[in-house]
Structures are given as structure tokens and as C-alpha cells.
Structure 1
Amino acid sequence: MTRRTVMTLVSAALLATGPLAGTALADPPATTAGAPGTVVSDEALPQNLWIDGTGSARRLTYWTLDASGQPALSSGAIFIPAGTPPPGGWPVLSWEHGTVGIGDDCAPSTAGRADRDMGFLATWMKQGYAIVATDYIGLGTPGVHAYLDGRAEAHAAIDMVRAARSAEDSLAAKWVAIGQSQGGGATVFTASLATGYAPELDYRGAVATGPASNIVDAAQFVGPQLPPIPSSHITAYATYVMNGLKAARPDFDLDSYLTPLGKQLVTEARTLCFTPLAEAANGITLNQLFSRSLSEGDFVATARPVMDVPPTGYDRPLFIGQGTNDTDVPAPLTAKLVADLVANGNHPEVHVYPGKDHSGAMLASLADSVPFVARLFA
């Protein structure tokens, strides 16, 4: 494998989008765990956080399950279109966001969303869909967000639908999952779990663009021996990956892989959202974080069950969109994801967008994903 290939794989595994920061959010009060989807708190969402076309919006805290099936709190927002709901209620899109950070300050339901995401979601609102948007476990709720723990993220997205329908009687039971980057990978997890996890809901299918996948395969090449990669973004994302694995698997010996500098930046990543973290990582290359290769020890065995996308369980249509010029999730990694799915008897609808980068493919995909979703709800 060439040096360029290795560096491309590493870059692909560690990059995602969504640099936002916000104000600190207090943890919700302690309460007895409820069934998945049980609402703990319900409050109006400030109008400056509304998607264009919203008629009303609320912020919820609700119960869900982590990847091991233990109760956990998540938060998120409900956006109801302006106007009168159709017969049967508003069809629902469960939005799974890209990387914003892992600290409470970064939760989109309080910190806000990037202009790109707001414009993208406004397109869906104009189609007459309600949008429910999880923050994921640990973003605005107790504990550390288990970044790239796909099952936990999927549970939070599915239980956001349950919670939203409990709080808002204008929502239909029929729903579709949709996500980008970190959220694209989470959406593929959601697609594999949705029907079995919440059989009382009417899950119709999923749309994933720039989906994070093959993280562990790429991360195996990371270590002190890696040639320097002069990207503060890659360095910042690596700290989220390591923190996320430690949150998902507390017994993982994180410190044994880190240099003193790596330990410092990994600690800072627990509270810093993407932009300030990338600034803190300026001038620090990826190899400087690690005292030994991630191919050694228990990293691979620990990370695979957390981050590897499931090869089976896809019983509804799945849309995958990918840009050829995407340097966050390069096309070869998505091609491998698709090949793995097909090898296991799945047949996703794949759309490739020539010349489009990570964000460009997300926006370009609307020409295909809007009619795809309309067919799912027909």
C-alpha cells in the first residue's frame, strides 16, 4: 500500500463536518429511567434556532439506550412545518447530524446549526416533512458523547421519533432516516436496526450522504510512524475518535496509546467544539498524538464492534450519496461500504456526484434524494 493511499485512508476516517460552538448547557435533573422514547423535559425552542419554514419547534430530553442496551438520556429538537398537517399527520424525517464536537456546548439543539445544514433541512421542510433532530447521547445530556458509536447514535435517532410523537400529536408514524458525514454513517446503522428496534413505527427507508465508514480499517495505519499530515482538522477528529471509543468502552486503555501532547489534546477535545479544537490543534500533526501504533494492543478489537457498519439488517430502501472530490470521506471508502453491503445481499441505491466535495455532494444529492423520499412516503 502506498504512502498516499495510507494518508488518504487516514484522512477519510478522521474527517467530518459541522464546526459550531455554543453556550454551556446544564445537565437535566436526575430521574428514573423510562422506556426508550419517554420524554423527560419539553420546552419551546428559541426562534433563532428554527429551520426556515418552521411553524412551531420544541426541544426535548428523552430516554434512549446506549449500544449495550443500558438507559441513557439524549436531547433533540422537533420542527413542525407551518400550515395544516395532511391526513394521518406530518411524515417524519429523523435527521442525524455531522460532527460538531463531543461536549455539551456543541449540541445543535442549543448551539445552533451550520448554514449548510439549515439550508439543506429547509428544503425538506418545504416538501411538507416534520424534522426531528437528535443531538445524540452525551451532547447536552450527562456523560461523554460516544462519537461514532453507531448503534448508540441510531438508537437516539429512532427514539427521537418516539419521543417527538409522544410530545406532538400532529406527527405520523411513518418516518425516514437521513444524515450526513458522522450522521451519514449513523444513518446506515439506523437503516440496519430501525424495523427491529421500533416495530411500532412505520420505518420507510434512509438517505445517507458522505457516510463515515471503514474507520477502523484506516485507523490501523495511525501511529508515531505515520508521516506527518499537516492538517489540524485531521488531528482534531482523531481526538474525537479516541474519546468516543473510551466513552463507548470505558475499559479501553486510551492513555497507553497517547503521548503527553496527545493526552493534553484529547482532554481538551472533551469540551471544545470543532472550530476551537482545530485551532488548538494547529501545528500538531496526527503522528505526534500517539506513542504507539493503533494496530497494536486492543484498539482494533475494541473499536470494530463500536464503529464497523453492520453488513446485514437492511429491509427498507437505502440511498447512499457520494462526491468524487470528497476529501472528508473519499469515494473509495464509500465504494468499499457499498461493496460490503452488496456482498451481504443488500442493494442500496447509489448516487455518485462528479466534482463534488463533502458538502457539495450533500447539497447536490437533493435532486435525487427528494424524489427518492417522496416515493418512500407514497
Structure 2
Amino acid sequence: IITTAKSRFTRTRVGKTLVVTTAAAAVAVGSVTGAQAFADPAEAVPEQGGQTAGSVYANRVIVPTSLIAGAARGQEYTYWSPGSDERLHLSTATLLEPKGKTPSAGWPVLVWAHASNGWNQSCAPSKTRNGADDAAVTRLLKQGYAVISPDYAAVGMPGAPQYSDVSATAHNIVDAVRAGSDVGESDLSPKWAVVGEGQGASAAVELARNGASWQSGRLDFRGATATSIPAGYDDLVTNLSPSSQPVPKGVVADVLYTLAAQEPDDVKSILSTRGTALVEQARTLCSAALAKEIGGTQLADLVSRPLSSNAKLAAALRKSLAIPSRGFSRPVLMSQRLMDPTVVVPTSLEYVTQAQFASNKVTMKTYLTGDDAAARKQERSAVDAYLEDLF
């Protein structure tokens, strides 16, 4: 099945067969005959013109032995989605369906909008299993949701600022749902919501504002949950300088990934020797490995001059990294633990407080305990209850 310049994805029982374009490997129905059966986002994008955002490029059935706990069946698919460069890119997502009888209206759909794990394509969820992500998706499957896990657009592509672009990531999620509705067909309900964490939380908040207007067809966006929201990240990055204050190591890693996603010529003049070495490593290492390389390095050690000295880069990053605090059209749960190594907690707490005052669509949750395990348990319960109310 080939996407053409005038036609969106042609509908057949793609959920039971393997769909490829002529550029993909040859396959037999329901089985894979090549080492890779679908288009790889890291490979050269076919120049077909007229591709439609959210249209499927190819898909393949996931063999049962590769499914995570709680999944009855699954598919991996590539689809088209625009980046901040206003070009369409191929991206990859995974669709998992829970065990049990499919409801007459189809499984309600949740998008697991994961936190950043790295800029290199090998770090994407479809390439590398992550224990925390698997646990989160398994929990959602066991509650009776179909789960879509997108890689996000242009991961691993040189000069790909959309990796750190909130709006581009949010659009990528909507397109993953559009494409997933074709891949999953009648097994899926048109009702969907987003569960976002970290980088994914920023996109979830953006979708609470714009997702309803971006969706198409019979899709019915219900709302979002956002945990560990990187509030103020736009200020932190654009104010990066030799006098930047210390932040958690996870935030340092995110900054390195953001810098690695920019054109090398745009950042080389501001980086210190240490910063240059770590940005180069951020182009290949996933988060756990990069954290080891960071060691005790802080933001101030990364640069020899302020990032604002490149006014064009600073303006572009401020625009792409900003997250909204008002104007929401769908309900959103904003949750923040008191102990969180992935964000600057005081800034995140200030943001969610202001957002709740500014919009009646926002529900704020905090957990008055310094015990991280207890706080995580309370947060999971709050997210689960909120999702149930959305549907």
C-alpha cells in the first residue's frame, strides 16, 4: 500500500497484515522476510511529495515473544509528521493492545509520551527497551487501554532542532494517533488522551491547549496528564552561561541533548572544551550512559560564553522550548513531586501553581512527602484516577 501525492493511506485490514511501500523490504503477508520490514526514520526520506501528516508509510506485526507484559498484540509503524523545519519526516511508533475482549466501541487509546532518553536514534523506545517506560505502559495496558508509544520526530537526524521543539513533539503525537487509528482500525476507540513525563509532559501540556484543533476525522481528544514538567526550561537554556547555577544531573543531560540537536556551527562558538566533548557524546549516548560521562559537570562548565551571544539561536530556542500556562481547551493534570532529579522542582511548582490559577482546565497535584517511593506511588494513583475520569 503506497501513499501518493493525492491520496492518504488506503484502508485495508492492515492490522492483520504487514504494510510496506516499494522502498521497504519485500514481505509476505503477516510475516517478515527481511531483516527490517519498515522504513527507518534515520534513513533517507523518500522524495514522493504530497505526503500527508499522519499517513502511514509502513507497519509490521510485533511477534508475541517481543511483547511486554500486559500486551495481547502489537504493531510497529512508521508515519509522516512535520518538524519545526516545516518538512515532513518519518517517525516510528508502537501500538500495543491489552489482553481481553475488545470493547464494542474499541479500546480507549493512551499515548505514552516518554521523557527524553537521548538524541541518537538507538535511544528511541522502538530501538531500546527502557524498564521505567515498560512498567508505565504495562500498568496502562492492564487498566484496559491501548497504548501508543511514539519515538518523536527526527530523533538522530543531524540539524534536527525539532527534537527539543515542544510544538513539533506535540504534532508528532497527534500524527502518531492518526496513523495508529489506521493501523489499529476497528480495535481502537476514537477517544484518546496523553500521559506525558518530562519532555513528553511539555508536549502533553501543549496538546491540552491545541490537540483538539489539530486532530482530524472522528478522533476525540479527551485531555492529558503531565508529570515532571520541565517548566522554565526555555529560560534555563537561553540563559546558559559560565555563571549558570547548579541543577540536577538529569537537567544537565537534557541541555546537552538540546545543544546536540542544533546545527554544530550554531553552538561551537559558545561551548567550552568540556562542553564540546560532552555535546559530541550526547549525539550517540543514551541518558544512563551520558549521566556517567557528565559526572560532576555543571551547566556553567559547558560554555565559555553566554548562549545569548548567538541571538538568533537564543530566540529560536526560546520559542521552541516554551510551554503554555493558559488557554487550554481540554483538561490537564499537572503533577509534581517534591523530590525529582529530572527538573528544577521550585520552578516546576511555581509553574503548575500559576497554571492552575490561570485556567479552570488545570488540576494541580503535589505530594507532601520527601519519600520518593511514596510520592511516586501517590502520583501513579492520581494519574490513574484522572485518566479514568477523562473517559
Q: TM-score range with shorter-chain normalisation?
A: 0.7 to 0.9
TM-score (norm: length of structure 2): 0.80
| Structure 2 portions without partners, runs of 5+ | 1-39
Deviation readout 1:161-213 (Å, 9 max, x if unpaired): 11111111111111001111121112111222211111431000101111112
**Aligned partner letter, 2:220:** D
* Structure number with larger C-alpha Rg: 2
TM-score (norm: length of structure 1): 0.83
Name the structure 2 match of 1:6: none
Write the mapping of 1:49-64 to structure 2, written as runs, cut at 5 A.
Answer: 49-64=66-81
Q: Tell me whether 1:317 sits opposite 2:331 in the alignment.
A: yes
Name the structure 2 match of 1:219: 237
Write the mapping of 1:1-378 to structure 2, written as runs, cut at 5 A.
Answer: 27-28=42-43, 30-31=45-46, 32=48, 34-47=51-64, 49-114=66-131, 116-139=132-155, 144=160, 146-169=162-185, 170-200=187-217, 201-226=219-244, 229=246, 233-244=250-261, 246=262, 250=263, 253-298=266-311, 299-342=313-356, 344-355=358-369, 361-377=375-391
Deviation readout 1:39-85 (Å, 9 max, x if unpaired): 11211235565332100011111001113543121111000112221
Residues 232, 279 of structure 1: 8 Å contact kept:
no
Deviation readout 1:231-255 (Å, 9 max, x if unpaired): 75454332112123x2xxx598212
**Aligned partner letter, 2:45:** A
**Aligned partner letter, 1:215:** Y
**Aligned partner letter, 2:294:** A
Residues 237, 255 of structure 2: 8 Å contact kept:
no
Secondary structure of the residue that 1:111 maps to in structure 2?
coil
Give how far 1:344 is off: 4.5
Residues 312, 346 of structure 1: 8 Å contact kept:
no
Secondary structure of the residue that 2:307 maps to in structure 1?
coil
Residues 119, 156 of structure 2: 8 Å contact kept:
no
Residues 41, 60 of structure 1: 8 Å contact kept:
yes
Please report the RMSD computed on the Cα atoms of aligned residues, expressed in angstroms. Answer: 2.7
**Aligned partner letter, 1:373:** L
* Higher mean displacement: 123-132 or 275-284: 275-284
State the distance in 2 between where 1:331 and 1:282 align. Answer: 21
Q: 1:69 to 1:278 in 2, by over 3 A?
A: same
* Higher mean displacement: 328-337 or 354-363: 354-363
Secondary structure of the residue that 1:123 maps to in structure 2?
helix
State the distance in 1 between where 2:73 and 2:135 align. Answer: 18
Residues 250, 343 of structure 2: 8 Å contact kept:
no
Give how far 1:310 is off: 2.3
**Aligned partner letter, 1:60:** Y
| Structure 1 portions without partners, runs of 5+ | 1-24
Identity of paired residues, percent? Answer: 29
- Please identify runs of 4+ aligned residues in structure 1 that moved more than 6 A: 140-143, 357-360
Give how far 1:256 is off: 2.1
Q: Which has the higher contact order (CA 8 A, sep 6+)?
A: 1
**Aligned partner letter, 1:292:** R
Q: 1:289 to 1:334 in 2, by over 3 A?
A: closer
State the distance in 2 between where 1:154 and 1:26 align. Answer: 18
**Aligned partner letter, 2:380:** L
Residues 238, 318 of structure 2: 8 Å contact kept:
no
